[in-house]
Amino acid sequence: MTTPSSLHQTEPTRPAERRRFIRRHSKTVRATHWLNVLCLSFLLLSGLQIFNAHPRLYWGKYGADSDKAFIAIGVTQTEKASRGFLQVGSLHINTTGFLGVSKEDSSETERAFPSWLTIPSYHDLGAGRRWHFFFAWLLFLNGAVYLAHGLWRGHFRRDLLPNEGQLAPRHLWREVLDHARLRFARGEEARRYNALQKLSYLVVVFGLLPLMVLTGLTMSPGLNAAFHFLPDLFGGRPSARTIHFITAFLLVSFVIVHVVMVLASGLWNNLRSMVTGQYAITDEGSDK
Amino acid sequence: MNRTPSRRKFLMGLASGAGALALSGCDRLAQNAGVDAVLRHTEQLTLAGQRAILSQRALAREFTEADLSPVFRANGTQMPDSNEYARLLEGNFIDWRLQVDGLVQRPQSLSIGELKRFPSRTQITRHDCVEGWSAIGKWQGVPLAQILDAAGLKPGARYVLFHCADDLEKALDGSGRYYESIDLIDAYHPQTILAYGMNGKDLPVAHGAPLRLRVERQLGYKQAKYLMRIEVVDSFEMLFGGKGGFWEDRGYEWYAGI
């Protein structure tokens, strides 16, 4: 078996290009993927609207203004102007113009996240909550369909579980180097996800997204009464809120890397495969 | 291959255009009545979902003295701005009475002393504000169920309305008056109490003296302060904005279990 990087050591031989299409993504995966994009976009922006109502995060069973915040976005008044800041632990960063103080309708406004990152753009906690809960339900149902399908049809076992060879340290290291150089698999090797892809998808599907849902539910006083273990699991409602926020940040980081990789490894091919299911593979012996 | 730069430029243009459109579009969507009506249905789903999961008597977590917030943030009105309240406060609430009326067999008018003669319940619970902060406090009061039983509900009773002494919004026509409502499932929940004590002392003015509601499985805005009158009704649509509460009339959900 040839490793993907060895293919790049041969000089390009044009135009001996042999492209063929394989069926990459099932209908359910494609539908749930795009619904997920919609849900996560609205959840993020409405979530930041909700966060703005109290832009402080705590660890523990209680947390309000007079308690110590782990993360806070706020405003300090100087003689001349108001300055926005982000505080993480003991770190204090001036973020005027972006966090704490930013322009809303071209006038300086004190708000944690700027208006171009919240739904609605103006302060309206009630509306933010309606958008958030609507898409939270949709995300939950969408996730349930995706998980049921993935287990039932073997998508997780077949496509997402790395096989032994892929988990070998030498192989993983090679993949890290290939990714850093933006070299991607070709030919037969491109039929499957590489190990780093599989691992990140597994972390998102079985780690970050369930954590997001669970920490979200933990903030509900109703569900706290039904499931006492929920706040215990995360160390209290304020802790769950903090983890909810950090996990959202991790999801955003994942999406950024994901989109960069999609762009770098062939935008049209990747988009086509996630829309129609058809993924083009260029066979060995050709390059570019 | 040589088409790539222009294609990239085109895509970048497309993406930033779509982004700008999405941003201005979101506000227009948020203000669209039809869209808002769809979003509001989520509340019914949440209520049905939580009621299906919650047994009617499932208790909110109770904490120990060691868990009490060092400072319990006072929110909303901290001192009702009316001559009547000032007079009651000056008299140490000796003249204050809780009216219980509406769809009841025996309307009541209860002084603080009379309320304290009912068997009391003390609970250390977490107060969750809709904004996201939480504080743990100790509440002492009379279970609402006992008051409702003393008054005796009439057939058709569905909701309990709480009329408060404070105007949270200044309005000449009285529309800024705070009020709340819960249904009978929450009204008869064992942790739903009318609290006259907080953290071992009389309820402070900033927290709703002389009497406030505690509905422990819902958010802070349901915990009406400065109670004056409890009215049992079959519907709250005729009152103020018709949504069953001060904040509900201003966009928050009536069911605040999330």
B1/A contact by beta carbon, under 8 A: yes
- CA A27 to chain B, closest CA, distance in angstroms equals 25
| pLDDT digits 0-9 by tens, A190-239 | 889 999 999 999 999 999 999 999 999 999 999 999 999 999 999 999 99
Residue type, A116: W
Residues B105 and B190 in one domain: yes
Residues B8 and B123 in one domain: no
Residues B64 and B176 in one domain: yes
Residue B155 lies in a domain: yes
Is B60 in Cβ contact with A224 (below 8 Å)? yes
Answer yes or no: is pLDDT of A124 > 50.
Answer: yes
Answer yes or no: is pLDDT of B120 > 70.
Answer: yes
Using CA atoms, how far apart are residues B257 and A136, in angstroms rounded to an integer? 15
Task: Kindly report the average pLDDT of chain A as a whole number.
Answer: 91
- What are the chain B neighbours of A223 within 8 Å (beta carbons)? 50, 53-54, 257-258
ipTM summary value: 0.89
Residue of A nearest to B11 (CA): A267
Q: How do beta strands B98-102 and B227-233 pair?
A: parallel
Is B132 in Cβ contact with A62 (below 8 Å)? no
State the pLDDT confidence band at B2, using cuts at 50, 70 and 90: very low
Helix A125-152 vs helix A27-53: angle between axes, to the nearest 10 degrees? 150
B199/A contact by beta carbon, under 8 A: no
Is A126 in Cβ contact with B128 (below 8 Å)? no
Residue B114 lies in a domain: yes
B219/A contact by beta carbon, under 8 A: yes
Residue B42 lies in a domain: no
Q: Which among B11, B38, B61 is the nearest to A228, CB-wise?
A: B61
State mean pLDDT over A166-181: 92
Residues B121 and B210 in one domain: yes
- CA A165 to chain B, closest CA, distance in angstroms equals 35
Residues B23 and B112 in one domain: no
For residue A150, the model assigns a pLDDT of 96
B21/A contact by beta carbon, under 8 A: no
Residues B235 and B179 in one domain: yes
Residues B128 and B82 in one domain: yes
- What are the chain A neighbours of B73 within 8 Å (beta carbons)? 64-66
| pLDDT digits 0-9 by tens, A251-264 | 999 999 999 999 99
Tokens of B110: 């209860």
Which helix (H) or strand (E) is A59 found in, with range?
A: none
| pLDDT digits 0-9 by tens, B10-36 | 666 666 666 666 666 778 888 888 888
In chain B, pLDDT over 90 holds for what percent of residues?
82
Contact B231, B101 (CB under 8 A): yes
- What are the chain A neighbours of B223 within 8 Å (beta carbons)? none
Q: Which among B27, B128, B253 is the nearest to A121, CB-wise?
A: B27
- CA A164 to chain B, closest CA, distance in angstroms equals 37
Residues B81 and B26 in one domain: no
Q: How do beta strands B212-214 and B134-143 pair?
A: unpaired
Residues B74 and B196 in one domain: yes
- How many domains would you assign to chain B? 2
For residue A194, the model assigns a pLDDT of 92
- What are the chain B neighbours of A130 within 8 Å (beta carbons)? 36, 39-40, 42, 251, 253
For residue A19, the model assigns a pLDDT of 86
Residues B18 and B118 in one domain: no
Using CA atoms, how far apart are residues A187 and A286, in angstroms rounded to an integer? 10
Which residues contact residue A50 at a Cβ distance below 8 angstroms, ignoring those fewer than 6 apart?
A125, A128, A129, A132, B132
Using CA atoms, how far apart are residues A63 and A76, in angstroms rounded to an integer? 21
Q: Which among B59, B131, B135 is the nearest to A53, CB-wise?
A: B131
Cα–Cα distances (Å) from A279 to A20, A154, A267, A272, in that order, read 8, 20, 11, 7
Q: What domain range is B12 assigned to? A: 4-31
Using CA atoms, how far apart are residues B209 and B165, in angstroms rounded to an integer? 10
Q: What CATH number does the domain containing B127 carry?
A: 3.90.420.10
In chain B, residues 132-151 whose CB comes closer than 8 Å to chain A: 132-136
Residue of A nearest to B126 (CA): A62
Cα–Cα distances (Å) from B85 to A283, B94, B165, B209, in that order, read 83, 12, 7, 10
Residues B132 and B19 in one domain: no
B27/A contact by beta carbon, under 8 A: yes
Tokens of B73: 């943030």
| pLDDT digits 0-9 by tens, A144-158 | 999 999 999 999 999
Q: Which among A126, A223, A224 is the nearest to B250, CB-wise?
A: A126
Is A64 in Cβ contact with B133 (below 8 Å)? yes
- What are the chain A neighbours of B219 within 8 Å (beta carbons)? 221
Residue B39 lies in a domain: no
Q: Return the closest-CA partner of residue A48 out of A101, A106, A123, A109.
A: A123
Predicted structure pTM score: 0.90
Residue B9 lies in a domain: yes
Answer yes or no: is pLDDT of B127 > 80.
Answer: yes
Q: Reduced to 3 states, what is the DSSP secondary structure of residue B7? A: helix
- What are the chain A neighbours of B45 within 8 Å (beta carbons)? 137
Q: How do beta strands A19-23 and A56-57 pair?
A: unpaired
Residue B55 lies in a domain: no
For residue A288, the model assigns a pLDDT of 42
For residue B23, the model assigns a pLDDT of 64
State the pLDDT confidence band at B83, using cuts at 50, 70 and 90: very high
Using CA atoms, how far apart are residues A64 and B133, in angstroms rounded to an integer? 5
Using CA atoms, how far apart are residues B236 and B220, in angstroms rounded to an integer? 20
Domains and CATH numbers, chain A: 4-66+122-282 (1.20.950.20)
Residues B120 and B9 in one domain: no
Q: Which among A61, A120, A222 is the nearest to B258, CB-wise?
A: A222
Is B61 in Cβ contact with A63 (below 8 Å)? no
- Encode burial over A245-264: b for 16+ CB neighbours within 10 A, e otherwise: bebbebbeeeeeeeeebeee
For residue B170, the model assigns a pLDDT of 87
Task: Kindly report the average pLDDT of chain B as a whole number.
Answer: 92
Q: Which among A62, A121, A241 is the nearest to B69, CB-wise?
A: A62
For residue A188, the model assigns a pLDDT of 82
